Amino acid sequence: MKKPARRVVVAGFAVGLIAVAAFFFWPESTPSSARVFQPPEVKASRLTPEQYRLAITDVFGAHIDLGGRLEPVMREAGLLVVGASSVSVTAAGMEQFDAMADAISEQVLMHDDNRRVFLSCAPAKSDQPDDRCASEFLAPVGERLFRRPLTEWELRSFVAAAAAATKALGDFHAGLSLSLSAMLTSPQFLFRIPVIEEDPDRSGGYRLDAYSRAARLSFFLWNTGPDAELLRAAREGELDSDRGFRRQVDRMMASPRLEEGVRAFFHDMLRFDTFETLSKDPALFPKFSRREMADAQEQTLRTLVYLLLDQQRDYRDAFTTKKTFLTPSLAAIYQVPLAHQGPNGGVESWEPFEFPAEDPRAGILSHASFTALHSPPGRTSPTDRGKALREVLMCQTVPAPPPDVQFTVVQNTEDPIHKTVRQRLIAHSTVPSCAGCHRIMDPMGLALENFDGAGEFRLVENGQPIDTAGDLDGMEFSNSLELAQVVRDNPAIPSCLVKRMTTYAFGQDFTQDQRVFLKQMRVRFRESGFKIPELMRTIVTSPEFFQAAPASDPVSVDALTAAVR
Amino acid sequence: MRAPGSAIPEVAGVRGRHGGSGRGAVLRHGAAFGVVLWSLWAASVALAAGGQSRTFVVSFFAQQFTNYPGDCPGGVNPEDERGQIAFALRTMGYSGAEVRCLMVGWDQGGEGERKVNEILERRAVINGEPVNPMTHPEAVPDPQLKFVNAKQSVGFDLDGKQSADDFVDMITGKPGIDNQLFRSLGCNQNFRGSWTSPSAYGEWVWVQLRDSQPAWLMMITDAPSGKAGEVIVRIQRSFDHLRSNMDGSPRWHATYRADPDPRSFNEYRGYLRDGELTIPRQPRFSVLWNGLSAPVLNLSQFQLRLQQDSRGQWDGLIGGFQPWRELYFAFSHNGIVGDRPGLWHAMKKAADADPEPATGQNLAISVAYRFTAIPAFITPSGASVRTAMREGSKP
Amino acid sequence: MNKTRRGFLRGTFAGSAVAVSLPFLDCFLNESGTALAATGKSLPSVFGNWFQYLGLNPGRWVPDQTGSNYRNKVELAMFDPWKERINLISGGYYHLDGRPVETHKTGVQIATLGGIPTGRESGASLDSDIADVIGRQSRFQTLDVTGTGGRFGVSKRAGAAYKPVEASPAALYRRIFGADFTDPNAAEFVPSTRALAKASVLSQVSDQRRAVLKTVGASDRARLDEYFTSLRQLEKQLAMQLEPPEPLPACAPPPNIGEEAEPGGEVTAVERNIDLFTSLLIHAVTCGQTRVFNVTMNTQGCRKAGSTQNWHGYTHEEPIDDALGYQPETTWFIMWANQLFTNFLRKLETTPEGAGSVLDRMLLLWQTDHGYARTHTMDNVTTMTVGNAGGLFRTGRHIALAGDPVTRVGLTVQQGFGVRTGAWGSQSNRATRPITDMLI
């Protein structure tokens, strides 16, 4: 062989080797579609209090009284829905679930009006078991409650339970109601337990099975279990085809129940559950009581639903919008006029309200649901509000205070009983170990000092105008209106929304394995003009939405039973 | 109420821009969003700036008495049911011993109580037939309830004269204060009160009705004359009851729809100086009232004097001559006021204005009412008036 | 037990727990006067946890003497009436092992869990471990309350989330003494047919439910395991409704509590709630409903009405008064909270049971989150036990740990109650030696 040809062959071989190496070892250089998404390991999650309530009202009607208290869920990765996959049922919680199950099933089967609706058959003898009629009731109800058809074993056991209870009580309906009660305390109802199957589209990969897909879709879009139509589609394999699946997505997104899902999402993201334990000193804030706390949440949720769902506006406009909804009693807190409609003494109604352009109030940061929620009972706290903005809306973590935090500044003041916000924040901004973190929180909170601890607006404090200037990540603002604009323009805002909504939809926190997918979602969100319904559709129709990793370390029940006390 | 605090310092030397409202889009709103009237919005901003409100709602209203211990020599008139029954028996001519014996029987109930009630049925008699003494007080001989013996009171000089009956103003020190209602009723326990503590009766009426009776509104505007301190004061009714917080305190900054009904429309020239609002003597004042007080509050020789505190709340008095028989109308079906026929005769004797031509009996009595008002928004009623009137918003 | 005698007891108690007027019938006791002859068992021991945030003032509580003859300093002087029953432990340390202090959280974790958890999962709190030994037969394995509002307490099972706490005395009343309460002294016991029916239902569905465990992964299994543990507690409660209970002469259900509590820490609300809760807990103990309870005094939100500042804020922002040498408002709160605890002790001591009072069979563990709240110190932390749990512990001592981990106290308490463990805690907080002075 001539020398130049050998060189060519060697060069060609080397190029080939490099190309092969590049293909295998440099993933960034490959097209995104070839990148592998590592789905998170699926986890069971307990129904949140609101999901439990909705499940009951969906199946049995809104007039059913739950008759108990729902065990709270802890927040994880900023969401209760994620924390729900880390909690179980405590003994005290089980008592409550049991009491509620009894109350619900009694209303369903022991009150004549309800029984007529739910029970279409009658037992052969009213004081004897009747497996056929019990089965006719328990099978469809069980399918709705367990979010999938009952297995033969499950149905058999609930029918047998009804029979046993009927014998003990001498009443078919009472016995049937105890079996329904047992269904309502079963783990298959209280926990969303995903089932996975092999994914035909990815060799070696897994996905959620049809019913689990239906549940994940339904809990995201409507915050409740699949309705009868969605269960039917799952049963008949329609969710396995792209067309069938999209038909259901279209149906659910066109439904007015989409509002419930959006509300539930923002209720979780904005941490409205903490209103339950919020208290305001009535002597200092007589206007702000339980009723106003409920109204404040409703104001923000209505505003968001109107803006993002009805009007299909840019999500970031939520921070600058002048439009909101108020009741007259809420208007008194904002000190704006809003007359009662209708006769004297009637129920207050919600009215649209728009702040004029020059009014410094704009967006959800000026709502009482933000300003009052993130304030201690007796005063404001710029630090609390700044921290809430960072953590709740920008998904940024503020480090904990240092263990050796010094309070020598505190010692040197003349009259610290009357310590003002000003003096305390001087320490925050000048002492080096404090300033690092407080600088990223306090300025935004200071801009919101126009809003007192109960969300009431004020321009002056003790006769002096409030100075509200500061900066957020280098962008300056001189008042709350400018803060709103600066917040709107901060890239962390839409980015955080995507993270929250995606983890909410999946029900689990994301790790580095899903980082690329999250980035894709952010890009699509931006391309859509930051529209929420578009983002929801993008998430549910993404190929990744139903991909799953199998459970690690499965074990037999017998071995487990032996190990458990 | 505001939390304490003061101006916020610069943080780490950063200074913000001034002015500009940024790129916040001016929304081209649909019909659903009515933009609030400019003046009302300006008022709302002014409110936030502290104490500049010119529109108010009445947050407390009741007769103002200023008692002190010992102002009824020999004690107050009998207050509880037992005391009143014993008192009534005495006025009917039974001796002290007889009354004591009868009351023992009354205490035991049953036959003893029935016997006393039988006697009391004849307390008022017309043409030999017993009648209800509460609704026929003239048929009851005057029980001679005690009058207050105080020298001081609050109120106004309504007639411009000084007479023996007049009081010295407790607050201003001026003589000639006319408050015959205080004099005649001030020795009845449930009417006794002070500046800081309303009477049991006044408080009771207010609390019963504040969440249902249409609220009263006050609006202060600059007088057209342009003279400093001269204002036009309008007092009228609303369609809406007073709004309260969950703890019962009046809710500031609520919104009320003004009722244009001329029967409750009063407009006067007043004077506003150093936080004090006064309306000098006016011929009449009239607002529709309520079933526990009187159907209409009519005051002749009306005057008003209010002080405003730093937060914007008004507190003070209105006064005038009020038809006393209208007051009795409300008292007559209310057991907590005291011996009702006695109150009739007391007011009748103390009445000091508006003589009836035929008999010379004065039909009106001088009175002062405590009047407090807090900042509120007032909206013209517009279409909602028709709705409200159609659906019936009478007291 | 003779039914007429039961009826006699029931009639005379007439709804009041403090039945001082009834002369105790000797025939109920054995020779030592501490047992009920009918069952031959001694009254069971009880563990109570009182967790009070924000601690005491250094320099105002550590006695100068150790051992039995110590004199309380000013902040604990009000505990003197119970000094014989108290072990006061000073000088304890919450070790960090280089981890950052999460203020008002790390101390709680070390005190109740024995160490700082790594990762999301963490072990059981010490009251759970004790309840696993002594609480198995109780209707409620633990009762968890808070006087100061909030939703979660300091008690948890292994691998689980913190248990929710009861913030409403009325709700706790309904839970314990509502429809499902079986009066141990009732003249006649009628097993509930409903409970029978429910029990039969549960036995029919039990296997099918357990099969769910096969379908989930390892971490889910742990959580479902907690579900099944809670279910077992429910089943136990049902079973108790089917058997006649042991009579308990000191038991009398309390009067109904009508109103709901307000959440939050305004001091009069806290006083009311603590007052109601401690009474309810005493009733629950004397009526055999539980043997372990937790009271959380999350003092961070505590404030006086109309005040813009709360206890926690004062600890950091109030200066030390030059003349007094301490922070006046902060110290007011400390003394106030101590007063609430001593009120509880007084109630326990004046509730007759057996030959003495219900306090006799109890041990209360008083713990806090920091040595000095003002600077979040983790040294010289105050810990206290009150009572000897029916003779399981020695008491009346001031014990100076001199820098040892506070978990030695937790270990000692657990061992006294019969938890089989030779050590407790992790890393530098690992205690391997109990405080022998405290153990019999």
Q: What percent of chain C has pLDDT over 90?
A: 48
Q: Which of A89, A151, A179 sits opposite C230 (nearest CB)?
A: A89
Q: What is the mean pLDDT of residues A176-190?
A: 96
How much is the pLDDT for A364? 96
Closest residue in chain B to residue A480, using alpha carbons only = B21
pLDDT tens sequence across C363-373: 999 999 999 88
Candidates C204, C214, C320: best to mutate against A (most CBs of A within 10 A) is C204
Candidates C116, C166, C198, C419: best to mutate against A (most CBs of A within 10 A) is C198
On the question of pLDDT at C18 being above 60, the answer is: no
Q: What is the mean pLDDT of chain C?
A: 84
Distances B106 to A262, B79, B109 between C-alpha atoms, Å: 70, 17, 5
Q: What is the mean pLDDT of residues C98-109?
A: 85
Q: Given pLDDT bands bounded at 50, 70 and 90, which one contains residue A325?
A: very high
pLDDT tens sequence across B105-128: 888 888 888 888 888 888 888 898
How close, in Å, is residue A279 to chain B by CA atoms?
14
Q: What percent of chain A has pLDDT over 90?
A: 56
Looking at residue A16, its amino acid is: G
pLDDT tens sequence across C21-66: 222 333 333 344 444 434 445 789 999 999 999 999 998 999 999 9
The b-or-e profile of B291-307 (16+ CB within 10 A means b, else e) is ebbbeebbbbbbbbbbe
How much is the pLDDT for C322? 85
Across the interface, whether the CB atoms of B11 and A378 are under 8 A apart is answered: no
As a residue count, chain B comes to 395
For residue B35, the cross-strand partners are A354
Q: What is the mean pLDDT of chain A?
A: 85
On the question of pLDDT at B394 being above 70, the answer is: no
Candidates B8, B217, B385: best to mutate against A (most CBs of A within 10 A) is B8
Q: Which of C101, C200, C309 sits opposite A168 (nearest CB)?
A: C200
Across the interface, whether the CB atoms of C144 and A92 are under 8 A apart is answered: yes
How much is the pLDDT for A72? 84
**A350 contact residues in B (CB cutoff 8 A):** none
How close, in Å, is residue B389 to chain A by CA atoms?
8
Give the Cα separation of A343 and A332 in Å (integer). 19
Q: B374 with B191: CB under 8 angstroms?
A: no
Closest residue in chain B to residue A382, using alpha carbons only = B8
Specify the higher pLDDT residue, C25 or A267: A267
How much is the pLDDT for A15? 61
Give the Cα separation of A418 and A358 in Å (integer). 34
How much is the pLDDT for C14? 32
Domain boundaries, chain C: 45-185+253-438
Q: What is the mean pLDDT of residues A165-180?
A: 95
Q: What percent of chain A has pLDDT over 70?
A: 85
**C375 contact residues in A (CB cutoff 8 A):** 405-407
Q: Which of A344, A462, A463 sits opposite B393 (nearest CB)?
A: A344
Q: Which of A332, A356, A467 sits opposite B7 (nearest CB)?
A: A467
Q: Is the ipTM of this complex over 0.90?
A: no
Q: Which of A165, A406, A424 sits opposite C201 (nearest CB)?
A: A165
For residue B272, the cross-strand partners are B277
How much is the pLDDT for B16? 26
Specify the higher pLDDT residue, A461 or B172: B172
**A443 contact residues in B (CB cutoff 8 A):** 11, 14
How much is the pLDDT for A249? 98
Rounded to the nearest 5 percent, the helix, strand and coil shares of chain C are: 40, 15, 45
On the question of pLDDT at A39 being above 80, the answer is: yes
Ranking A294-308, B238-252, C192-206, C248-262 by mean pLDDT, the lowest is C248-262
How much is the pLDDT for A406? 52
How close, in Å, is residue A154 to chain C by CA atoms?
6
Q: Given pLDDT bands bounded at 50, 70 and 90, which one contains residue B374?
A: very high
How much is the pLDDT for C134? 92
Domain C45-185+253-438's class?
alpha beta
Give the Cα separation of A192 and A214 in Å (integer). 12
How much is the pLDDT for C318? 82
Written as six digits, the tokens of B178 are 């006319």
Give the Cα separation of C345 and C381 in Å (integer). 22
**A479 contact residues in B (CB cutoff 8 A):** 16
Give the Cα separation of C295 and C302 in Å (integer). 15
On the question of pLDDT at A66 being above 80, the answer is: yes
Across the interface, whether the CB atoms of A339 and B243 are under 8 A apart is answered: no
Of A442, A381, A383, nearest in space to B10 by CA? A442
Chain B interface includes A80 (CB < 8 A): no
Reported as half-sphere exposure (CB side, CA atoms, 13 A), residue A70 has a value of: 19
Q: What is the mean pLDDT of residues A113-122?
A: 89
**A341 contact residues in B (CB cutoff 8 A):** 384, 387
Ranking A164-178, A421-435, B381-395 by mean pLDDT, the lowest is B381-395
pLDDT tens sequence across A208-244: 999 999 999 999 999 999 999 999 999 999 999 999 9
**B26 contact residues in A (CB cutoff 8 A):** 357
How close, in Å, is residue C357 to chain A by CA atoms?
28
On the question of pLDDT at A422 being above 70, the answer is: no
How much is the pLDDT for B22? 28
The b-or-e profile of C57-88 (16+ CB within 10 A means b, else e) is bbeebbbeebeeebebeebbebbeebbebbbb
pLDDT tens sequence across C330-340: 999 999 999 99
Ranking A38-47, B11-20, C422-431 by mean pLDDT, the lowest is B11-20
How much is the pLDDT for B386? 44
Across the interface, whether the CB atoms of A467 and B239 are under 8 A apart is answered: no
Q: What is the mean pLDDT of residues B234-245?
A: 94
**B50 contact residues in A (CB cutoff 8 A):** 458-460, 463
How close, in Å, is residue A67 to chain B by CA atoms?
25
Distances A55 to A74, A230, A266, C146 between C-alpha atoms, Å: 20, 14, 19, 30
How much is the pLDDT for B382? 59
How much is the pLDDT for C160? 73
A 271-310: CB under 8 A from B: 282-287, 289-291
Specify the higher pLDDT residue, A291 or B8: A291
Q: Which of A345, A356, A380 sits opposite B241 (nearest CB)?
A: A345
pLDDT tens sequence across C253-297: 888 887 765 656 789 889 999 999 999 999 999 999 999 999 999
pLDDT tens sequence across B312-329: 999 999 999 999 999 998
Candidates A74, A86, A90: best to mutate against C (most CBs of C within 10 A) is A90
3-state secondary structure of B359: coil
Closest residue in chain C to residue A194, using alpha carbons only = C216
Specify the higher pLDDT residue, A500 or B75: A500
Q: Which of B1, B239, B257 sits opposite A284 (nearest CB)?
A: B1
Q: Given pLDDT bands bounded at 50, 70 and 90, which one contains residue C241?
A: confident
**B244 contact residues in A (CB cutoff 8 A):** none
On the question of pLDDT at B243 being above 90, the answer is: yes
Give the Cα separation of A127 and A171 in Å (integer). 4
On the question of pLDDT at B390 being above 60, the answer is: no
The chains found to touch B (3+ Cβ pairs under 8 angstroms) are: A
pLDDT tens sequence across A69-100: 788 888 999 999 999 988 889 888 999 999 99
Across the interface, whether the CB atoms of B6 and A358 are under 8 A apart is answered: no
Give the Cα separation of A263 and C301 in Å (integer). 30
pLDDT tens sequence across B350-362: 999 999 999 999 9
**C233 contact residues in A (CB cutoff 8 A):** 91, 94
Of A401, A496, A403, nearest in space to A441 by CA? A401
Q: Which of B212, B245, B252 sits opposite A289 (nearest CB)?
A: B245
Closest residue in chain B to residue A432, using alpha carbons only = B12
How much is the pLDDT for B37? 55
Give the DSSP H or E segment for C283.
helix C267-286
What angle is formed at CA B63 by the lines to CA B59 and CA B66, rounded to 5 degrees?
Answer: 110
Q: A185 with A99: CB under 8 angstroms?
A: no
How much is the pLDDT for C218? 81
Q: What is the mean pLDDT of residues C403-425?
A: 92
Q: What is the mean pLDDT of residues A443-465?
A: 76
How much is the pLDDT for A425? 67
Across the interface, whether the CB atoms of C214 and A554 are under 8 A apart is answered: yes
Closest residue in chain B to residue A285, using alpha carbons only = B1
Q: Given pLDDT bands bounded at 50, 70 and 90, which one contains residue A297?
A: very high
